[in-house]
């Protein structure tokens, strides 16, 4: 009987451990970082993933993008990553790269204070500071990669994510368990203020009226700039959101910051699209989920991702770079494989009244 009880206890522990360690098997890398319970970061599975994260980090302090870092690595793959350590190509903050790995390491350190996690986080922090332009903006890749990648990158919230990392550390919140030194924080304060100044200066004026931002701005002129063929210079209903949220998070904002927020909110109100929602429907005999717009008087407002700089008219592009008035005029590949509409500005509009009340505006 005693042996049976022991076996049952062992089996129960095995089941529990299997349940815990299986958390990453079917998840995407960003979801593992942001949605895993704090206790998971103390597990053997999390520590194994952390070893991968350390391996993927380059000596310069940053990480490449679009890698599922939880996937097991063979010994050959590990040796290749070690050999790549001095390589500075393809290191970026695009698609949340570097900032999300820093957050992962911070969550690991909170559970297991391994000094390697701390050193890697701080190297990432230094990388962010080194990558900033003198005018306060950040490129998509650092060291610089030729092409549109040198533009100041608001696309996919790249620069806003960087500034939020700096802000959490400067404000000495508990968001990150790893704390930079005071001398590093002084550098971060300068970098943050320059970044906000760049945002203020790059907010687009349309017929003399401040509006919003483009997904990328020229690193010299600060004007809206083209990126990929289907990402033309425009006002962005998506990328402008995280910028405004960042500005609204500033304690004791300057008159310039307040004006930028007020102007962007007015633009969101002006450009919202009501009465429709976007649905996905399966295409018979394929894995494609087609996009359709459905009339719905109760739908929450939507915004186009790209709007004309002159009059806010939404437009859509295929890989040929030719503007279309509707995404039904472009090919299925780009129509279904890109986010052309967003509801994210609703978050700003919901929080705006409380922000004004707090500042007694």
Q: How far is CA 48 from the centre of its chain?
A: 25
Maximum distance among all Cα pairs of the chain, rounded to whole angstroms: 85
Best CA proximity match to 216, nearest among 141, 170, 153: 153
CA-based nearest residue to 132, from 100, 158, 103, 96: 158
Tokens of 188: 């971060």
Residue tagged active-site, from 95, 155, 161, 312: 95
Catalytic-residue membership of 95: yes
Which contacts qualify for 53-58: CB closer than 8 Å, 24 or more apart? 53/101, 53/104, 53/105, 53/120, 54/116, 54/117, 54/120, 55/81, 55/82, 56/81, 56/101, 57/101, 57/120, 57/123, 57/124, 58/84, 58/85, 58/86, 58/87, 58/88, 58/91
Burial code (b: 16+ CB inside 10 Å, e: under 16) for 162-193 equals bbbbbbbbbeeeeebbbebeeeebebbeebbe
CA angle centred on 146, ends 141 and 150, rounded to 5°: 50
Structure token pair of residue 63: 């990480």
Whether the bond between 74 and the residue before it is cis, its omega within 30 degrees of 0, is no
228 a catalytic residue: yes
Spatial distance between the Cα atoms of 85 and 301, rounded to a whole number of angstroms: 46
Q: Which long-range contacts (CB under 8 A, 24 or more apart) does 326-332 make?
A: 327/291, 330/230, 332/288, 332/290
| Choice among 135, 228, 262, 277 that is catalytic | 228
Give CA–CA dist 105/160, Å, rounded: 20
Query: Catalytic residue numbers?
Result: 95, 228
């Amino acid at each position: 009987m005693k042996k049976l009880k022991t076996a049952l206890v062992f089996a129960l522990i095995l089941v529990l451990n299997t349940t815990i360690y299986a958390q990453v098997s079917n998840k995407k890398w960003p979801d593992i970082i942001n949605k895993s319970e704090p206790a998971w970061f103390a597990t053997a599975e999390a520590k194994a993933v952390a070893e991968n994260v350390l391996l993927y980090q380059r000596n310069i302090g940053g990480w490449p993008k679009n890698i599922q870092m939880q996937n097991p690595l063979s010994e050959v793959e590990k040796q290749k990553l070690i050999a790549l350590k001095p390589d500075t190509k393809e290191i970026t903050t695009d698609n949340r790269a570097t900032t999300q790995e820093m957050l992962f390491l911070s969550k690991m350190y909170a559970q297991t204070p391994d000094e390697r996690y701390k050193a890697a986080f701080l190297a990432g922090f230094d990388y962010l500071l080194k990558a900033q332009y003198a005018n306060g903006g950040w490129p998509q890749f650092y060291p610089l990669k030729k092409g549109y990648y040198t533009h100041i990158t608001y696309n996919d919230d790249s620069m806003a994510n960087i500034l939020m990392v700096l802000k959490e550390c400067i404000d000495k919140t508990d968001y990150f368990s790893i704390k930079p030194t005071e001398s590093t924080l002084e550098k971060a304060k300068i970098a943050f203020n320059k970044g906000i100044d760049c945002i203020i200066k790059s907010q687009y004026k349309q017929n003399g009226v401040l509006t919003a931002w483009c997904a990328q701005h020229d690193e010299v002129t600060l004007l809206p700039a083209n990126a990929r063929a289907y990402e033309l210079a425009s006002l962005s209903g998506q990328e402008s959101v995280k910028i405004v949220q960042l500005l609204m998070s500033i304690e004791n904002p300057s008159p310039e910051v307040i004006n930028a927020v007020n102007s962007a909110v007015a633009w969101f109100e002006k450009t919202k699209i009501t009465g429709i929602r976007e649905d996905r429907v399966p295409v018979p005999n394929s894995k494609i989920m087609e996009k359709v717009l459905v009339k719905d008087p109760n739908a929450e407002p939507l915004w186009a991702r790209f709007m004309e700089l002159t009059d806010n008219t939404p437009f859509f592009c295929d890989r040929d770079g030719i503007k279309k008035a509707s995404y039904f005029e472009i090919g299925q590949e780009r129509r279904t494989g890109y986010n052309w509409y967003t509801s994210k500005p609703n978050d700003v509009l919901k929080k705006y009244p409380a922000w004004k009340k707090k500042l007694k505006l």
